[in-house]
Chain A
Amino acid sequence: MQNNNQPHIMKYKTQALILLCLILLTGVTVGVSFIDLGAFNIWIALFIASVKGSLVLMFFMHLKYESKVLIFSFLGTIFFLFILISFIFWDVAFR
């Protein structure tokens, strides 16, 4: 968005590469789910989901190429989501 009106055009090749990564990560998360690691299973699954989510956000949703307004407002949302989750767990865990 910096001082030009030319939109950033994603290459098909980049998009296909992202799709490939996403499918591979799906394979990894399914594979890991067959191994019993106790509580770690949840954390690994959530970690892989976050990586996949970031790929979708950055490339498919184009966030990597957007203006600072969008990027910071998005991070703000994630911050509030974090507050929501952590404060509720703070309460639940010490009840």
Chain B
Amino acid sequence: MSAASDETGKKLGMWLFLYTEIILFGGLFVLYAVYFHKYTDDFILAGKELNKYFGIINTIILLVSSFAVAASISAVQKNEKKTAVSALSFSLLCGLVFLINKYFEWSHKIDLGIYPNSEKLIDLPAGQNMFFGLYYIVTGLHGIHIIIGMTLLMVSLVLVQKEKINHSKFTLLENSGLYWHLVDLIWIFVFPLFYLVI
């Protein structure tokens, strides 16, 4: 009985942490909304620089990887170790592809002279500078979350392999999964705000 309530406590703890993450990114979205309200035309002009297709591909990659993580949890619960291992490896691969896409996207921007404090941005109207500043902060912070999420998933993968995570003990995998889904959840809002709306 004590063991069962302990697992619930671990999960509640993870959720409490996720709430702080929601407020963290919520604050950045508020910043975006306020400056969008103030510099609507500049945001629309600057947003045209972003490539929709990069955004679409990365959205689908994250959705699929979220599905794979959710499936790996079901697999562990059903005692299907092989399925769990391949689902987790696949979602790790998705995370890696996401980061590679982000690398190409950012380096293209940097080649065009668009990066924080670049001469080109300083000469542009304040609103466009603000848009790209927010773009780098939000996608950068999100990218760091991807790296942390991948680390957690990697640890879980090793433990599943060693059967330290099994059908009767899988809270670590569940919590890593929750983190990964949160990263996906944030991207679901980042994608339309930066790539589509404008």
| Chain A residues proximal to chain B, CB less than 8 Å | 1, 5, 7, 9-12, 15-16, 18-19, 22-23, 26, 29-30, 33, 41-42, 45-46, 48-49, 52-53, 56-57, 59-62, 67, 69-70, 73-74, 77-78, 80-81, 84-85, 88-89, 92-93
Contact = CB atoms under 8 A, between A and B. Distances in A.
B8 to A, nearest CB: 7
Interface residues of B, number: 46
| Interface of B (DSSP majority class) | helix
B100 interface: no
Contacts of B67: 15-16, 18-19, 60
A26 B63 contact: yes
| Interface of A (DSSP majority class) | helix
Contacts of A22: 63
B15 A49 contact: no
Contacts of A88: 30, 34
Interface string B52-92: 10001001100110110111011001100000000000000
